[in-house]
Amino acid sequence: MKLKSQINNVIKDAFKNAGIEYEPMSVSEATKPEFGDYQFNGAMALSKKLGKNPREIAQNILDNMELTKVVNKAQIAGPGFINLWINPDWLALECEKAISDDRLGISKNDKPQKVVVDYSGPNMAKQMHVGHLRSTIIGDTLSNLLTFLGDEVIRQNHIGDWGTQFGMLIAYLEMKDEDGLVSLKDLEQFYKDAKGEFDANADFANRAREYVVKIQSGDEHCLELWKNFIDISLGHCEEVYGKLNVNLTRDDVRAESFYNDSLSKVIEVLDDKGILKESNGAKCVFLDGEEIPVIVQKGDGGYLYATTDLAALWYRANELGAKRISYVVDARQGGHFKQVFKVAKDAGFVPEDVKLEHIAFGTMMDKGGKPFKTRDGGTVKLIDLLDEAVIKAKETIKNRDEYTSQQIDELAKIIGIGAVKYADLAINRESNYIFNWDKMLSFEGNTSLYMQYAYARIQSIFRKYNSTIDGKIIISDELEHRLAVMLLRFEDVLSRSAEDASPNQITTYLYELVTLFMRFYEQNPILKDGVKDDIKMSRLKLADLTAKTIKQGLDILGIKVVDKL
RNA sequence: GCGCUUGUGGCUCAAUUGGAUAGAGCAUCAGACUUCGGAUCUGAGGGUUAGAGGUUCGAGUCCUCUCAGGCGUACCA
């Protein structure tokens, strides 16, 4: 249900009837319950244009407004706000429609777009660490969300599988095991050992350098070892994706190396367009007003990540046909993307109408506000963090004797991983945030457990009721009215969240919804003695739609729900 | 130096993209249980939105300056 546009239509009609020729600004949600459900603030803005005072304009709009089906009450307040109340009968009807639809009444985009979402991007030489968490889950949420809204999403995992360090790793892999079939149990350790050998052993270091050349010139034996290494390394990532409940598969992998053959072409095209300049031996593109150029080829002939990104942009816009390309990457790379996007458009790698965006996010900090590290100052491996989350989640489970140990494990996974993901997604992605176990595993406040608890409670009601629902929704008091409006706002929230690529709009909404539901539930008994049958049915239906909305919302965030906590 | 970015109660975060008296949670204090799961709900105190100007009918939000922090700044990704 596109609730806001329904209200906007009422305003638009009123404008037409009143003979106001301007396009009205959109209504917004009322800031307080006593101001109704929605408010129109456009009368003040029109004051200057029309040369009348705002209240007079508001009155004119009001006089020409149809107050029946959708909006059944409107009032002028303050300097010229128009407060709007939605017809409860209409609300009830729309909620009914949402319940009986498996998409909760949410339409699919009638103009679906092809969207590339580039996220996760682990480096194959190292274990995934906490720095990869945000990219992985924000990107995954955005992909889930756009898919749900009907776009054609192409997930791209731009893994780092190319570069000088691989010569060292391959040489070490061969040294440890002739066949190169070593199981890289601890990638981090393997990297350290290889580096140690590289620094201590000149012979080895030379061999490593030779390997770089060999891999790049396509030596079969070396390529075999390299592929093997990447394969094992990717397996580690998949383990993490599995634990995180993230929808990334091998099919989504387009590694850096995938673009190797296109790199010389990138340089060629830039040269043809006349925007390539040589500076200090390197090939560069200088952008207007910027002192520092984009270097696309080093003095020694090597290519850089800007070159690969340009090749990737070309591929995504032309081969994949994307109309929106979203890079979910750390905010620190803002300068890089700004430049690369500009070059790509200038050089015609990407058509003008394609939207390029850097979905930037801030850094995860510890309690003291310093970047998140282990006690000895190293990076925290993502897999360790997730395992710890599950262990901590297990400790929070009450009444453990009611479950089998297998059930507890399963529950702990859902709770622990959900808590980590929710805590991250609930924060405005552009700001840095403080990682806090106690806060994220709390049942209070805007946490996944508060949502899970509400969901489980509703399921518990239905277990107890254990019968079919036969009746209609009747909006009988203010809380029910507000709950119904909130439920119908879901689609607007999702659209906005998709547009801005901001998952926290979904979490904020869910929190408001659940808070409202808890109040409703506290005040309006459902199954207690003395509740009349038609009221009981209506409240069961509102509870049902609330549960479905929570579930759908969390599902987009990649968080599972359980019927019983 | 230049560029980007952040600054909101003691703490952690919101604020419908310029709208009415800046909202939540934690913590503090005070209430509500013969529990439809109290892991809940109700209420109170706590704010010059870093500071100073400006634009506007209207500013936490936009512009300018100042202060404080973070990040980036030519051959790593």
Angle, helices A165-176/A202-216, rounded to nearest 10 degrees: 110
Note the pLDDT of residue A463. 94
ipTM exceeding the 0.90 mark: yes
Please check the confidence at residue A464 and state whether its pLDDT lies above 80.
Answer: yes
Domain ends where: A64, A86, A108?
A86
Note the pLDDT of residue A561. 95
Q: Number of folded domains in chain A? A: 3
Question: Where does the pLDDT of residue A398 fall: very low under 50, low under 70, confident under 90, or very high at 90 and above?
Answer: confident
A447-470: average pLDDT: 94
Question: Phi/psi class of residue A324: alpha, beta or left (left: φ > 0; alpha: ψ in -120 to 50)?
Answer: beta
User: What is the C-alpha R_g of chain A?
Assistant: 28
Please check the confidence at residue A118 and state whether its pLDDT lies above 90.
Answer: yes
Identify the residue whose tokens are 């190319």: A162
Q: Which nucleotides of B are covered by protein (CB under 7 A)?
A: 3-7, 12-17, 19-20, 24-27, 36-42, 57-58, 70-77
Residue A206 lies in a domain: yes
- CATH at residue A533: 1.10.730.10
Q: Is there a single domain that holds both residue A452 and residue A549?
A: yes
Percent of chain A scored above 90 by pLDDT? 76
Contacts of A140 (CB under 8 A, 6+ apart): A119, A120, A244, A246, A247, A248, A558
Note the pLDDT of residue A428. 94
Domain ends where: A21, A55, A86?
A86
Residue A45 lies in a domain: yes
CA of A364 to C1' of B9 (A): 24
CA of A334 to C1' of B77 (A): 14
CA of A418 to C1' of B65 (A): 45
Nearest nucleotide to A452 (CA to C1') is: B39
Residue A343 lies in a domain: no
A8-29: average pLDDT: 94
- CATH at residue A80: 3.30.1360.70
- pLDDT tens readout for residues A20-67: 999 999 999 999 999 999 999 999 999 888 888 999 999 999 999 999
Q: Which of A411, A436, A432, A406 is nearest to A422 (CA)?
A: A436
Question: Are A278 and A330 in contact, with CB atoms under 8 Å apart?
Answer: no
Residue A536 lies in a domain: yes
- Residues β-bridged to residue A449: none
Nearest nucleotide to A397 (CA to C1') is: B39
**CB-based contacts of A184-191 (< 8 A; 24+ apart in sequence):** A184/A229, A184/A232, A184/A233, A184/A236, A186/A127, A187/A125, A187/A126, A187/A127, A187/A233, A187/A236, A188/A126, A188/A127, A188/A381, A191/A125, A191/A126, A191/A165
CA of A521 to C1' of B32 (A): 15
Residue A34 lies in a domain: yes
Residue A492 lies in a domain: yes
Nearest nucleotide to A39 (CA to C1') is: B19
Q: Which of A482, A505, A496 is nearest to A553 (CA)?
A: A505
Q: Which of A470, A460, A455, A458 is nearest to A536 (CA)?
A: A470
Please check the confidence at residue A279 and state whether its pLDDT lies above 80.
Answer: yes
Nearest nucleotide to A444 (CA to C1') is: B25
CA of A336 to C1' of B3 (A): 12
| Domain limits for position A552 | 448-556
Domain ends where: A86, A103, A133?
A86
Assigned token pair, A404 = 């089998």
Please check the confidence at residue A14 and state whether its pLDDT lies above 60.
Answer: yes
CA of A30 to C1' of B51 (A): 32
Residue A425 has a CB neighbour count (10 Å cut-off) of 23
Question: Are A350 and A356 in contact, with CB atoms under 8 Å apart?
Answer: yes
Question: Where does the pLDDT of residue A565 fall: very low under 50, low under 70, confident under 90, or very high at 90 and above?
Answer: confident
Please check the confidence at residue A181 and state whether its pLDDT lies above 80.
Answer: no
Considering only CA atoms, name the residue closest to the C1' of nucleotide B35: A522
For residue A467, the 8-state DSSP code is S
Question: Where does the pLDDT of residue A330 fall: very low under 50, low under 70, confident under 90, or very high at 90 and above?
Answer: very high
Residue A357 lies in a domain: no
Please check the confidence at residue A176 and state whether its pLDDT lies above 90.
Answer: no
Question: Are A349 and A317 in contact, with CB atoms under 8 Å apart?
Answer: yes
- pLDDT tens readout for residues A380-389: 999 999 999 9
CA of A235 to C1' of B47 (A): 51
Nearest nucleotide to A371 (CA to C1') is: B70
Question: Where does the pLDDT of residue A459 fall: very low under 50, low under 70, confident under 90, or very high at 90 and above?
Answer: very high
CA of A33 to C1' of B69 (A): 39
Assigned token pair, A32 = 């307080």
- pLDDT tens readout for residues A119-167: 999 999 888 999 899 999 999 999 999 999 999 999 999 999 998 888 8
pLDDT, averaged across chain A: 93
Note the pLDDT of residue A171. 87
Question: Where does the pLDDT of residue A183 fall: very low under 50, low under 70, confident under 90, or very high at 90 and above?
Answer: low
A334-343: average pLDDT: 94
Note the pLDDT of residue A178. 55
Nearest nucleotide to A36 (CA to C1') is: B20
Residue A409 lies in a domain: no
